[in-house]
């Protein structure tokens, strides 16, 4: 006789399935019943282990999905941080260029102040030269008049 323990089959159900005649034919029914009980217990434990295994597999799948999602978020954050670093680098480069331009403007300003002072000096000199030229013209006119009058006087007197 073959003993068939199916999932969910308790020892009592199994023993009820075995006919009365078969029980009498079994020599050590107490040992067979104990073995049946033990096999049924083992069967329940296997089912519980399978159930636990399935729930662990589901949990592992959920954790894997969570890790993938977290990895995607991490990659997105890294990309954002890279863009931010590029932006900060560009901003600092622009700031350095602005400082260089400010320095150039200050140098030009210093040059303009020097040029302004030089222009003021040249304007003063040109006024002085204009006065000198005017005086020289006056002197030239007087000398010319003297020369003309002197020649004229010489012509008169000869």
Structure tokens at 102: 């400010």
Distance (Å, rounded) from C-alpha 26 to C-alpha 10?
19
* Cβ–Cβ under 8 Å, residues 5 and 45: no
Distance (Å, rounded) from C-alpha 11 to C-alpha 21?
18
- Whether residue 149 is predicted with pLDDT greater than 90 in this model: the reply is no
* Cβ–Cβ under 8 Å, residues 31 and 42: no
Structure tokens at 46: 């296997």
- Whether residue 9 is predicted with pLDDT greater than 80 in this model: the reply is no
* Cβ–Cβ under 8 Å, residues 32 and 26: yes
Distance (Å, rounded) from C-alpha 8 to C-alpha 48?
11
* Cβ–Cβ under 8 Å, residues 40 and 14: yes
- Whether residue 140 is predicted with pLDDT greater than 90 in this model: the reply is no
* Cβ–Cβ under 8 Å, residues 13 and 7: no
The mean predicted confidence, pLDDT, of the chain is 81
By percentage, how much of the chain surpasses pLDDT 90?
43
Cα–chain-centroid distance for residue 93?
16
Structure tokens at 99: 């400082």
**DSSP helix/strand/coil, 135:** helix
Residue range 20-35: mean pLDDT, rounded = 65
- This model's pTM is above 0.75: no
Please report the pLDDT score of residue 7 as a whole number. Answer: 47
């Amino acid at each position: 006789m073959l003993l068939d323990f199916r999932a969910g089959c308790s020892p009592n159900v199994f023993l009820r399935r075995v006919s009365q005649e078969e029980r009498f034919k079994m020599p050590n029914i107490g040992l067979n019943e104990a073995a049946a009980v033990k096999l049924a217990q083992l069967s329940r434990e296997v089912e519980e282990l399978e159930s636990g295994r399935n729930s662990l597999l589901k949990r592992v799948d959920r954790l894997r999905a969570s890790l993938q999602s977290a990895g995607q978020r991490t990659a997105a954050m890294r990309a954002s941080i890279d863009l931010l670093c590029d932006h900060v680098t560009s901003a600092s480069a622009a700031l350095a260029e602005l400082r260089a331009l400010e320095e150039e403007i200050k140098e030009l300003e210093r040059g303009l102040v020097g040029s302004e002072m030089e222009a003021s000096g040249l304007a003063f000199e040109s006024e002085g030269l204009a006065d000198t030229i005017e005086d020289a013209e006056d002197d030239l006119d007087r000398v010319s008049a003297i020369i003309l009058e002197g020649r004229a006087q010489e012509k008169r007197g000869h």
